[in-house]
Structure 1
């Protein structure tokens, strides 16, 4: 089921998420909702806190950019290895129409749990590595703007203020319903 994506300013985006103790039906439904919401918004990744769920769960699908990587659900992901650096433009579904150059590792190895409850490892470079790091950051309450220079954040100030207002309106609307 497609869910509303929290905008910058929503408290859930700055919270550190709790580990998932068991992969159960609720977690499987959460993963399905993450994929549905991500695809509806034409994104390449989405983390649980972006739909208001403070669990260490995210999904990534970079097949449009790097077809050799499969769509993936990651539960309790952790970066266990990294090499090199890359700088590239990033955006975020919680920051519509905002982009900035972010420095990330060029290659990462990630350990996580799959929907079958079994641990697995994935590794990748380029855009896939960037997407993994971006989504794992969300699980720790970190946002892509935290990686930007103070000058770049200052230049985005007006847009961030607008998003914060939209987020406040979004929160009020969800309380009314």
Structure 2
């Protein structure tokens, strides 16, 4: 299992690389990401959050939606979105901070699984929310980038996020 990287760590802002090799090492990496996410009580985790600049994320919302199980999304891209919702978000890389974030209510995502199989699916509800948050991570975006400048300034003044994050 890997340690979580926190806001201010440059790896969270780096451009990530597409995954091109789908082998046993990748499957083990995904399995370890899921273990790390569970250890940290998270519902999503992106590779940059554990120090790897790769387009890999895992999501497990089974605690909220019983039909779901832990899943990997490799090289994910949002190809469509609709609606709008405002929900309070938190992040393993930004402890003790929760803020309301406006995002599309539903999304269509093109991705591969850990076996390299191509998928394109529509998601809404919690899955859409968590996927957008984690896809932002592989694109170097943190949820505090999406809140108002005034709220961000307050978080900086309260020393909950660094001046240069």
Aligned to 1:99: 98
The CA deviation at 1:111 is 1.1
For 2:119, what is the secondary structure of its paired residue?
Answer: strand
* Structure 1 length-normalised TM: 0.87
Distance 1:128 1:117 in 2: 21
For 1:65, what is the secondary structure of its paired residue?
Answer: coil
Structure 1's unaligned 5+ residue stretches are 165-177
The CA deviation at 1:62 is 0.9
For 2:38, what is the secondary structure of its paired residue?
Answer: helix
The within-5 A match list for 1:1-177 is: 2-157=1-156, 158-161=159-162
The CA deviation at 1:26 is 2.1
Query: 2:60, 2:70 within 8 Å by CA — same for their partners in 1?
Result: yes
Distance 2:80 2:66 in 1: 23
* Structure 2 length-normalised TM: 0.93
Distance 2:34 2:69 in 1: 13
Distance 2:19 2:85 in 1: 31
For 1:159, what is the secondary structure of its paired residue?
Answer: coil
Query: 2:15, 2:140 within 8 Å by CA — same for their partners in 1?
Result: yes
Alignment coverage as a number of residue pairs: 162
Structure 2's unaligned 5+ residue stretches are none
Aligned to 1:173: none
Query: 2:54, 2:138 within 8 Å by CA — same for their partners in 1?
Result: yes
Specify which structure has the higher proportion of helix. Answer: 1
For 1:69, what is the secondary structure of its paired residue?
Answer: coil
